Structure 1
């Protein structure tokens, strides 16, 4: 299992990745863009935001960092963004049942912000804020990229 820092930015994650790539000599950078996902007609993403990063990751000598953009159109999240409150913990496991177990237990008294569901990068991915205000992401993948041991 890995617990990985997950960083969010408002519209400039590509720039952050480029900076960290050079500064940390990062390798194996993966990027998924909002345009790569089917759009929900009930919640359309503005065309100018489709090129923003939905999920990215990079390896460096000290581990892995994951990153994504908060869409500027997600007004409440974007307006409340403060550098420093943009970090969550990402639990990465190969076992889908264990992901669900951790997700269910950590969500008690908290708020599920995205129920567990399949995504292009994960067999089961979800997000929540626990009862202490800590943001968590859960990522079920067999991709060895995410395991540092």
Structure 2
């Protein structure tokens, strides 16, 4: 079994995946637009992503631009969590991903002997970074 994140966007999925691709040094795979699909969406949606995946070392998630009949609201029930063991890498990813977003917890050493930070990125996706210091 494999449980995997599938992120929904409101027309800016390609932009977000480009951003995440740069942060994680990962590739966008299986990119499909609504253009050739027999799905009832307005013509303005035809160039939007109906499905894509981001794959790289230690990262793999799927994403799409939600169709007009799919309501999107920013929520706080789920966060993507990144576990690291390299302090410099944790600081670099935190800085890149949180840029333009909202910081909820600054990346700093916590009582469980780890660097930890939590934020919502510029696309409304919630993230947690945890870097074990032991």
- Report the TM-score, using the length of structure 1 for normalisation: 0.46
Give the CA deviation at 1:49: 0.7
Instruction: Name stretches of at least 5 consecutive residues in structure 2 with no aligned partner.
Output: 80-134
Give the total of aligned pairs.
79
Which structure ranks higher in relative contact order (CA pairs < 8 Å, sequence separation ≥ 6)?
Answer: 1
What is the root-mean-square deviation of aligned Cα atoms in Å? Answer: 2.2
Give the CA deviation at 1:58: 1.6
Structure 2 distance, partners of 1:85, 1:11, is 22
Structure 2 distance, partners of 1:68, 1:85, is 19
- Report the TM-score, using the length of structure 2 for normalisation: 0.51
Aligned counterpart, 2:27: 27
Aligned counterpart, 2:71: 77
Contact 1:29-1:57 at 8 Å conserved across structures: yes
Structure ranking higher in helix proportion = 1
1:9 and 2:5 equivalent?
no
Instruction: Name stretches of at least 5 consecutive residues in structure 1 with no aligned partner.
Output: 88-149
Structure 2 distance, partners of 1:29, 1:47, is 24
